[in-house]
Amino acid sequence: MTGLLTGKTVLVTGAGSGIGRSAAEVLAGHGADLVLADINGDTCHETAESVTAKGGNAVPVVADVSREDDADAMVEAAIRAYGRLDGAFNNAGVDGAFESVAESTVENWDRVTDVNLKGVWLCLRAEIRRMLASGGGSIVNTSSTGGLVGMGLGLSAYVAAKHGVVGLTKAAALEYATQGIRVNAVCPGTVRTGMYHQVVATGVVTEEQIAAMQPINRPGDPAEIAEAVAWLLSDHASFVTGQAWAIDGGLVAQ
Ligand code: ADP
């Protein structure tokens, strides 16, 4: 265990799988006390049990980030458990549906933007209200390389929501820069999580072809995103705010 986040209470949303679950493990490894939120109670509890089995502190909360009351309740859970909130990783998200703009539906637009953008805003708002009262904190939002470039894959709602997260991150960072609250985003590229394995299982593309899309010639591991999040949440990143950091093996540098 490092002491990077020792003494800090951090809320992680979407902690039941993928990058959120890895972040819980990594942040606990750096000494953070955690509140873990997910809409899926079973997977959220599994993550919390895994963290506590290794000697960490983790409180699971079943919550839907797209609901105002749930977003507020997650922050209250942190205060109840630890008496403070120093950091947050607003990471809960849903995958986009592959449909062209012309074929896209209101149902899919609402599903994707409600969680991936409105959900981030609701959590950010609740966290900032608390952090203003306690003198500051650090917030990291999950965007995507699709928050920086267009992708053109029939993921317009997803891309719009993830660009929205970058805009929200910059606006909030500027509003609270003098009040001790830093706000940044991570923009993961291709990462070996559930969606990656689903795409590989379809046989439409091979793992070798996916690897070749990255200059670094491989997809990322969730922990490689989580380590960047840990650093942004820590005091080592004290001069960093308003950034959208591509963690993508060089993908968008091309
Ligand atoms: P990634 O591969 O980007 O890490 P995953 O799909 O593996 O994405 O993880 C996203 C997490 O977010 C899942 O655990 C999922 O249950 C959670 N999630 C999805 N929608 C919501 C929501 N509305 N509120 C809270 N958590 C959510």
Note the pLDDT of residue 151: 86
Sequence-ordered list of residues with C-beta below 8 angstroms from that of 61, at least 6 positions apart, any chain: 35, 36, 37, 44, 73, 74, 77
Is the distance from the beta carbon of residue 146 to the nearest atom of ligand 1 less than 6 Å? no
Q: Average pLDDT for residues 58-75, to the nearest whole number?
A: 98
Tokens read off for 72? 């507020």
CATH superfamily of the 9-247 domain = NAD(P)-binding Rossmann-like Domain (3.40.50.720)
Sequence-ordered list of residues with C-beta below 8 angstroms from that of 232, at least 6 positions apart, any chain: 138, 140, 182, 184, 186, 240, 245
Query: Would you say residue 92 has pLDDT above 90?
Result: yes
Is the distance from the beta carbon of residue 65 to the nearest atom of ligand 1 less than 6 Å? yes
Tokens read off for 89? 């990783």
ipTM above 0.90, yes or no: yes
Is the distance from the beta carbon of residue 57 to the nearest atom of ligand 1 less than 6 Å? no
Q: For 29-54, what is each residue's pLDDT tens digit?
A: 999 999 999 999 999 999 999 999 99
Kindly report the pTM of this predicted structure.
0.97
Sequence-ordered list of residues with C-beta below 8 angstroms from that of 47, at least 6 positions apart, any chain: 15, 16, 20, 21, 24, 25, 36, 38, 58, 60
Residue nearest to atom 17 of ligand 1 (CA): 14
Q: Beta partners for 176?
A: none
Q: Beta partners for 191?
A: 220
- Identify which of 25, 35, 40 to mutate to test ligand 1's pocket (most ligand atoms within 8 A of the CB): 40
